[in-house]
Structures are given as C-alpha cells and as structure tokens.
Amino acid sequence: MKKLLVAGLSLVLVCSMLFVGCGKKEDANNIPETIKVGTNAEFPPFEYKNDKGEYDGFDMAIMQEVCKRIGSEMKIENMEFKSLVGAMESKNLDVIAAGMTVTDERKEAVDFTDSYYTSNQYIIVKKESKVKKLSDLNGKKIGVQEGTTGDFIASGESKTVKDATVKRYKKGADAVVALRQGGVDAVVIDANPAKEYVKNNKGLKLIKDESSKEQYVFAVQKGNEKLAKEINKQLKAIKADGTYDKLVKKYIGN
Ligand code: ARG
C-alpha cells in the first residue's frame, strides 16, 4: 500500500514537473492572449487620455491594430516614462508603446521593433527669447520630461548643450507650465508634443533642432524575437494597406 502511494506521488511529481516545463516553453514561444502594453499617456498626439478618459493617440491606435491582427487583447499599463524600461526588464510588460526613441543604452535592456515614426527635438521658448539653437542653451535652465531623449540632450550627453541646469518633470506639460511661469528658460522635447503644447500657449514659440533625428520604435522584452517579428510583420501590413497613413492623418496631420 505504502509503495503504491510513493509510486503514485512520484508520478504526480513527474507529471507536474513536465507540466511546468511545458508551461515555460509555451510562454517563451507563444504570443500572449493579452498583450500588456506599457505607455506614458502624457505625450500627445502619440498617447494621452481623451475627453472620455480613455487612452488614445497614434501609438495606441497602431498597437491596437497590431494586437487585433495578431489576435490578442491589448491591455494598457500607464506609468511614468522613466519606469517603462525597468517594468519591461522585470517582465511586467510585453510591449512599450510610448514614442520611445531607439538609443544604444536602451538597446542593452530591451529589444526594439522596426521604426514606425521619425521625429526630432524641438526647443520651446518664450516669444521674446533670443535662443535660436541648442547650443544657445549652454548654462541655461532647461525643463524636460525625466528620462527622455530631451533630458539626455539637455544634460549634455550629445555635447551640443553644456553646463545647463536641467529641471526634470514627470510630464512634458509640466515643463511647459514652468517655462510660462519663468522657472526655466527653455523646454527640450520631441517635435509633435512640442507643437501641441505651443498651439495652446500664445506666448511661446518653437525652434526645430535639425541635428536630432530620432526613430520611434516599440520595445519588447530582451530576446522576445517572436513578438518583435510579429509586430514588424503587422506594421508592414498596416503600412501597405493604407491604415498607417489614415492614422497619421487622424492623429498627427501632415
Ligand atoms: N522620444 C523620447 C524618448 O524616447 C520621448 C518619449 C516620451 N514618451 C512619452 N510617452 N512620454 O525618450
């Protein structure tokens, strides 16, 4: 009787081990039924909350379309921009869709899809400011969204801006408020959100920085080639059938 029990128990044990083994393998090889998409919905027109309080914007619409075509649900996880890569490294996200620019440093932590949009940095200043280019910001007070490429440039990473005092905000919009109130001399931020912010602020103007060309990409967990490939495939299809252009028109204009 005892022998039978031991045999039975070991069978259960072996089976459950097999099961765990299989489960793991499946996770690594299958596209999840629900794709957890991390964003920072403070970046119009790419991601924001609309009047109904829903997540909306170009990135959200593209990812929604990609998920639909893959046959998965999309679940949005909204968080601070600077927390996205860490959340992905601890496997709490499957995708980052946040107007994220490819950088070598980020490439060490996550993998990227093909580029889905090309952008560059803008400087926002008050109408009366004499600033004309990035190097005019040397030694000035610059407002940025924390952890963004605008932050890296203002902090001197690309050597175009030197010795600036960088004030980091959780939202780009807060940096613009600080600019209006005189707390900073300029804001360095991606082109399209910059245009959105200035549109609503009469006393401000925009300066385009031609030197900072950036590619927006979606991120997946390091090594998740399967999901990256699938997203790339759907991106191609979305571009080929006109859906991409329709979404550009709807959210970004020309
Ligand atoms: N493109 C910039 C970067 O990758 C800014 C992105 C900010 N995105 C956002 N959803 N807040 O650093």
- Secondary structure element (H or E) that encloses residue 67, with its range: helix 58-70
* Residue 34: count of CB within 10 angstroms of its CB: 11
Helix (H, G, I), strand (E, B) or coil at 128: coil
- Mean pLDDT calculated for residue range 113-127: 97
How many CA within 13 A on the CB side of residue 199? 9
Closest atom, ligand 1, to C-alpha of 98 = 10
Separation of CA 19 and ligand 1 centre (Å): 41
Q: At how many degrees (to 10) do helices 58-70 and 225-240 cross?
A: 110
Ligand 1, pocket-test mutation among 43, 60, 103, most atoms within 8 A of CB: 43
The average pLDDT across 30-58 equals: 97
Q: Cα(254) to centroid of ligand 1, in Å?
A: 20
pLDDT grade for 209, boundaries at 50, 70 and 90: confident
Cis peptide preceding 193, ω within 30 of 0: no
Q: Which atom of ligand 1 is nearest to the CA of 214?
A: 1
State which ligand 1 atom lies nearest to the alpha carbon of 46: 10
pLDDT given for residue 252 in this prediction: 96
Whole-prediction pTM? 0.88
Q: How does the average pLDDT of the chain come out, rounded?
A: 91
Q: Which residues line ligand 1 (CB under 6 A)?
A: 39-40, 42-43, 47, 81, 98-101, 145, 148-149, 190, 214
| Nearest Cα residue to atom 12 of ligand 1 | 148
Residue 115 predicted with pLDDT over 70 = yes
Residue 26 has pLDDT above 70, yes or no: no
| φ/ψ bin of 117: left (φ > 0), alpha (ψ from -120 to 50), beta (otherwise) | beta
If one counts every other C-beta atom within 10 angstroms of the C-beta of residue 29, the result is 8
Looking from the CA of residue 148, the nearest atom of ligand 1 is 12
Query: 149: CA distance to ligand 1 center in Å?
Result: 7
> What is the model's pLDDT at position 25?
38
How large a percentage of the chain has pLDDT more than 90?
84
Contact yes or no for 184/143 (Cβ under 8 A) = yes
Q: What is the pLDDT of residues 62-82, one digit of tens each?
A: 999 999 999 999 999 999 999
List, as own/partner pairs, every contact residues 148-157 make where C-beta atoms lie below 8 angstroms and the sequence separation is at least 24, other chains included: 148/81, 148/172, 148/189, 148/190, 149/101, 149/103, 149/121, 149/190, 149/212, 149/214, 150/121, 150/187, 150/188, 150/189, 150/190, 151/188, 152/103, 153/121, 153/188, 153/212, 154/188
Helix (H, G, I), strand (E, B) or coil at 224: coil
CATH class of 28-118+215-251: alpha beta
Pairing mode, strands 110-126 and 141-145: unpaired
Q: What are phi and psi of 14, to 5 degrees?
A: -60, -45
Minimal CA–CA distance to 83: which of 147, 37, 153, 35? 147
Instruction: Give 146 Cα–ligand 1 centroid separation in angstroms.
Output: 9
Pocket test for ligand 1, best of 101, 102, 106, 118 (most atoms within 8 A of CB): 101
CA of 184 to the centre of ligand 1 (A): 20
Kindly report, residue by residue over 146-196, the tens digit of the pLDDT: 999 999 999 999 889 999 999 999 999 999 999 999 999 999 999 999 999
pLDDT in tens, 123-159: 999 999 999 999 999 999 999 999 999 999 999 998 8
Atom of ligand 1 nearest to the CA of 106: 4
Which regions of the chain carry the CATH code 3.40.190.10? 28-118+215-251, 120-214
d(CA 95, CA 184): 34
Q: Residue 202's pLDDT band (boundaries 50, 70, 90)?
A: confident
CATH numeric code, 120-214: 3.40.190.10
Query: Residue 8: which pLDDT band, with cuts at 50, 70 and 90?
Result: low
What is the model's pLDDT at position 30?
Answer: 78
Nearest CA among 119, 104, 205, 195 for reference residue 158: 104
Predicted confidence band of residue 15 (pLDDT cuts 50, 70, 90): very low
